[in-house]
Amino acid sequence: MVVDIYQKKVIKKYKNSVPSRKYILLLLKKYNNLISKKILEKKLHINCRKEKQILRQRLKRMEKDNQIIYTSNRRYISLENLNLVKGKVIGHRDGYGFLRTETLKEDVWISKDEMKSCIHGDLVLAHIIQLNKKRNIAKILKVFQSTNILIVGRYYLDKKIEFVIPNDSRFNFKIFILPSIINNKITIGSIVLVKLKKGFFKNKIQGKIIEVLGKKMGIDLSINVALRTHNIPYSWSREVKNQLCRISNKISQKDLDNRVDLRHFPFFTIDEKDARDFDDAIFCKKKKDLEEGWNLWVAIADVSYYIKPNTALDKAAFNRGNSVYFPSLVVPMLPEKISTDLCSLNPSVDRLCLICEMSLSSEGKLVQYKHYEAVIRSHGRFTYDEIFDIWNGNVELQLKYKKLLKYIQNMFFLYKFLNKKRFLKKGISFENAEAKFILDDHFRINKIYQKIRNDAHKFIETCMILANIASARFIEKYNYPILFRNHAQPSKESVSSFRLLLKELGLSLLGGDNPKACHYSILLKKILNRPDYEMIQTLLLRSMKQAVYSPINCGHFGLALSSYVHFTSPIRRYPDLILHRIIKKLILKNKREASFKKESCNYKKFFLYNINEMKKIGAHCSITERRADDATRDVVDWLKCEFMKNKIGYILTGVISNVTSFGFFVRLDKFFIDGLVHIEKLSDDYYYFDSMGLKLIGKSTKNIYRLGDTLKVKVISVNLNQRKIELSL
């Protein structure tokens, strides 16, 4: 565009009449509140259209340069002297909410009015205002990412007005449905998926129904709801299917080039009875030398051979992040052709693997290790219970596997050796006893029992940890960008709170302000035979931080290791797949250039991923891991409620597993299920909540309900929609 000299003079004249950035910032700072453009124009005495246009452009540039923020309610605010934080909105069924951040110790309260500009799950920028010493409040300035544009709920029709009430009570609103062809086919009470209309906060919230999921809740519908609620990908794109068609079902001689042939080694897979994928196998033997010690081979399916970077399969695997395991269904990270066929170490078939070969000294220390590509043939598929029973003299199984008995006993001797030498002696040793469900033909809970980890579980877990440690050491030698599995030390506040709870139970934790993993292990050994062991172990886990993936190594507190990576499950975890690619890249470079170690500065040009890419992948995979846990918990909680609805009126015993301001939860001994005794049901007195000691105290009677108390309770109601079981004393 050509601008003549006269136009330039006019623009310059108006530019000079509009105050500078510095003056605008001083004005925003002076008023210290949110100012609309209209008020700003008034304060700056700007009236003509040209000046308004120049002011608008100046404000946009100031926003781009992070000097000011234009908020979601169309106001300007200066970034100077503001306590700004980014975080995730956690909604509450009563209309208010909380802001959860990585920088603040506690969640910050969001008022009902502020919640009108955001919804549960949104990632926002907020201004933290301190009202008093006890409470901070968050003022929402901007929604960066609305993570809940798709919401699951039930469809209703009232006086020709169509609306959906979200299943999740943290969405404290109705969604008014826009006209659509699909609406004519929906019956009242159906569970539907709604896509929210953008820019809905000013008036009523509107949305469009994009899918009808069903009406009668069952396990399948429960899973479908969980998948959509947590935005978990569950179908394969056309590009993925096309790529799968191009992958051969058979291993050719070309696939075996440059691989070590270990098909004569008697590798075994050992998993749960209901396992769906078999991506790891082991073989071990005692050293022949006079020196005592063991050699251990851990073979992991070579998923990276089939899943190349930036392909359709790779992008799909990244989006999923991990496999999701529901009681009756698996949503795999990779299609079945890969996960249950080509990369599943099924018996008596050739499979491509990445090997971690390790040498253990007579002291039980990892002294040598090497990684290489190989081909193996599994000699047997065993369950943990089978191996455990063989180790404990089950004659029938010993006869059945007579040819392999020598190698199975070898594993037992290695397990005893590792136990004796106390490998991982500094880490926290949990004795998990998880509730296992036996489902009937309709995928409803038929029976619940407590599954305790036996010696076979512990042995395989130790072998996998060894392989992960060896892989971490291998990568660290080359200073190569990789995702570490970090588990940070508990905060001093968490340790202090946990100690207060232990004091209530007559227990203590050693280690001062910074206890180590070994101090937690001492505590767990001390309480092993107590009836409230499971409850205390749960409290211990709650006091700790969650493990995350990051390229910045922070060590693994729980295992008491300076560095740790995930190597052993590339079928179901994307970080493991990334690690395999990098290990293979380093193996290849080492083969090509024997002097490569001396020229470590040249490694950067061989990086598959830079540090920023690793940060993004790590953050994403940490989120998908939590997402999978939440989705699985939703379905399991529904199954528990569906099981308990036929137990209304039952009188059962249980232990108080958690205490809150609104009552306490009781874990039922018979079913390993938690139910709530609401504070309103404690009619003999007025009870107040002691948050420090986690107990309810009667004002007059001084009666106390605390963690670990054994009670007799009655099942009075079950709410399937809210997944709540209510009990009374």
Whether residues 343 and 469 share a domain: the answer is: yes
CATH of the domain at 157: 2.40.50.700
Instruction: For residues 19-46, give the mean pLDDT.
Output: 72
Whether residues 414 and 471 share a domain: the answer is: yes
Q: Which pLDDT tens digit goes with each residue over 592-641?
A: 765 444 444 455 556 788 888 999 999 999 999 999 999 999 999 999 99
Residue 432 CA to its chain's centroid (Å): 19
The reported pLDDT for the residue numbered 635 is 92
Range scoring the smallest mean pLDDT among 47-61, 207-221, 263-277: 47-61
Q: Which pLDDT tens digit goes with each residue over 365-375?
A: 899 999 999 99
Whether residues 31 and 88 share a domain: the answer is: no
- For residue 214, pLDDT over 80 is answered with yes
Q: Give the structural domain span for 527.
A: 489-544
pLDDT tier at 203, thresholds 50, 70, 90: low
Pairing of the two strands 663-668 and 673-678: antiparallel
Is 311 inside any structural domain?
Answer: yes
Do 576 and 569 touch, CB atoms closer than 8 A? yes
Q: In the chain, how many domains are there?
A: 6
- For residue 3, pLDDT over 50 is answered with no
Range scoring the smallest mean pLDDT among 93-97, 345-349, 367-371, 410-414: 93-97
The reported pLDDT for the residue numbered 606 is 61
Q: How far is CA 589 from CA 230, 306, 309, 374, 606, in A?
A: 41, 20, 18, 17, 9
The reported pLDDT for the residue numbered 206 is 87
Whether residues 317 and 400 share a domain: the answer is: yes
Domain end: 127, 145, 163, which one? Answer: 145
Select from 292, 164, 231, 299 the least CA-distant residue to 570: 299
- For residue 727, pLDDT over 50 is answered with yes
pLDDT tier at 394, thresholds 50, 70, 90: very high
Q: Locate 413 and state its tokens.
A: 């001797």
Instruction: For residues 61-86, give the mean pLDDT.
Output: 69
Domain end: 31, 57, 78, which one? Answer: 78
Whether residues 296 and 388 share a domain: the answer is: yes
The reported pLDDT for the residue numbered 72 is 63
Q: Which pLDDT tens digit goes with each residue over 147-184?
A: 767 889 899 988 888 899 888 888 888 889 888 777 77
Whether residues 597 and 467 share a domain: the answer is: yes
Whether residues 137 and 122 share a domain: the answer is: yes
Distance of alpha carbon 603 from alpha carbon 581, whole angstroms: 15
- For residue 4, pLDDT over 70 is answered with no
Comparison of pLDDT for 659 and 277, the residue scoring more: 659
In three-state form (DSSP H/G/I as H, E/B as E, the rest C), the secondary structure along 30-72 is HHCCCECHHHHHHHCCCCCHHHHHHHHHHHHHHHHCCCEEECC
pLDDT tier at 143, thresholds 50, 70, 90: confident
Whether residues 470 and 533 share a domain: the answer is: no
Distance of alpha carbon 76 from alpha carbon 62, whole angstroms: 11
Distance of alpha carbon 428 from alpha carbon 511, whole angstroms: 14
Whether residues 196 and 255 share a domain: the answer is: no
Is 233 inside any structural domain?
Answer: no
Is 704 inside any structural domain?
Answer: yes
Whether residues 574 and 708 share a domain: the answer is: no
Q: Which pLDDT tens digit goes with each residue over 675-703?
A: 999 999 988 889 888 877 788 999 888 89
Is 13 inside any structural domain?
Answer: yes
The reported pLDDT for the residue numbered 132 is 60
CATH of the domain at 128: 2.40.50.140
Whether residues 103 and 90 share a domain: the answer is: yes
Domain end: 30, 49, 78, which one? Answer: 78
Whether residues 568 and 503 share a domain: the answer is: no
DSSP 270: E
Is 571 inside any structural domain?
Answer: yes
Question: CB count, 10 Å around CB of 242?
Answer: 10
